[in-house]
Amino acid sequence: MADRFIDDYLLYLLARASSEVSAQFHVRLKTHGLQVPEWRVLASLSDGDGMTVGDLAALALQRQPTMTKIIDRMAISGLVERRPDETDRRKVRIFITRQGRCRVDDALADAKAHEHEVLADYSAAEADRLKSMLRALVDRNGAAPQED
């Protein structure tokens, strides 16, 4: 049988790879009591000093109105908090709370372990090249936030 169009179509291959690998990790996320959108927010905030809802939406691959609802739920749950921006009081920044930090720390370690498992059949150079190429693809094409 001849190769199908999708067997060599970049967008299909990216989506398929993401679907397969993400599904594995999403099972693990449940053990941490986190939903995927919460994970994305907490992981995005884990290294920073607070972010705007718009910046979080871009990183978490969500539209801003959807991200606002996610943040609302997470704030009620005590995982994040809103604070006025120190330089522009019209802006609000989202910060991870101590409870959010406790919830995400183990999940971050699990994410790194999962990534290690996924890349186990690749050399370090191949893994670095794969990530570099994916970052370049994102940078060159200006990925827009999408609903999952």
Distance from C-alpha of 114 to C-alpha of 119, rounded to nearest angstrom: 9
- Residue 148 within any structural domain of the chain: no
- Residue 146 within any structural domain of the chain: no
For the chain, how many structural domains are there in total? Answer: 1
- Report the CATH number at residue 75: 1.10.10.10
Nearest residue to 96 (alpha-carbon basis) of 83, 82, 80, 118: 80
pTM given for the model: 0.86
Q: Residue written as tokens 């971050």?
A: 108
pLDDT of residue 143: 53
- Residue 135 within any structural domain of the chain: yes
Range of the domain at 87: 5-141
- Residue 10 within any structural domain of the chain: yes
> Residue 7 CB: number of other CB atoms within 10 A?
10
Distance from C-alpha of 84 to C-alpha of 52, rounded to nearest angstrom: 10
- Residue 147 within any structural domain of the chain: no
Per-residue pLDDT of the chain (148 residues; tens, 9 = 90+): 458 999 999 999 999 999 999 999 999 999 999 999 999 999 999 987 799 999 999 999 999 999 999 999 999 999 999 999 888 888 999 999 999 999 999 999 999 999 999 999 999 999 999 999 999 999 999 755 554 4
